[in-house]
Chains A and B, each alone.
Chain A
Amino acid sequence: QVQLVQSGAELKKPGASVKISCKASNYTLTMYGITWVRQAPGQGLEWMGWISGYNGKTDYAQKFEGRVTMTTDTSTRTASMELRSLRSDDTAVYYCAKSDYYDTSGYYAYWGQGTLVSVSS
């Protein structure tokens, strides 16, 4: 069974950076993409961006351009998402999800358990 296991909760101060990892198992990371989605408290899902496990191509939502970096490490089967210059409104649960294609974001049949990032002074 495909599994995505994310790193644990983080508490950060405004202006800091956070890096969340997402370890994939029971499928070949290079054949699919990983999408990152976040959900602020009581809010809907927000698409942040996507990275191809095949060639590392990325596509970030315009809102996060310049502040986010998504990477994959095929040797450890781990995807990561770094968000910089954190603000209080970045407080959210961050999810990684397996894209069903290697060349586009597509849809997401498998999700990580979520990582709570709290930003507070």
Chain B
Amino acid sequence: SSDLTQPPSVSVSPGQTATITCSGDKLRNKYVSWYQQKPGQSPVLVMFHDTKRPSGIPARFSGSNSGNTATLTISGTQAMDEADYHCQAWDSSTASMFGGGTKLTVL
């Protein structure tokens, strides 16, 4: 089990907006990152510090963190976005944690 809760699966039609949530106690007091993982591959960072996109990540990816819930939003979802998405939370302490992961299906 994880202290961060994600929906196991989310489905979206191509071109629509996908929303993936990550819930945890006082999550707003932590930094949240998001990772995309395709089958057989290592995770890829798509969002850090709640709202920042690494270089090379398309602008259709955005993030937010408020209260006890962080959200990864993919606008104009494309077939290539189909993957597992994992949230991660950390703060000034050295420990960290991941959510259980969400399988995004684009159909």
A residues near B (Cβ < 8 Å) are 35, 37, 43-47, 50, 57, 59, 61, 95, 97, 100, 103-109, 111-114
A13 to B: closest C-beta gap in Å: 26
Tell me if A107 and B31 are in contact (CB < 8 A): yes
Q: Kindly state the separation between the CA atoms of A35 and B97 in the bound complex, as whole angstroms.
A: 11
Main secondary structure of the interface of B (DSSP, over half): strand
List the 6 closest pairs (A to B, CB-CB), nearest first. A44-B101, A59-B94, A107-B33, A111-B42, A45-B98, A107-B48
Q: Kindly state the separation between the CA atoms of A111 and B43 in the bound complex, as whole angstroms.
A: 7
Q: A35-B96, A45-B37, A47-B98 are in contact. List 11 more A-B contacts (CB 8 A).
A: A43-B101, A46-B98, A47-B96, A59-B93, A97-B43, A103-B94, A106-B96, A107-B33, A107-B48, A108-B45, A109-B54
Q: A106's contact among B42, B84, B90, by CB below 8 Å, is which?
A: B90
Tell me if A57 and B94 are in contact (CB < 8 A): yes
Tell me if B42 and A95 are in contact (CB < 8 A): yes
Tell me if A50 and B94 are in contact (CB < 8 A): yes
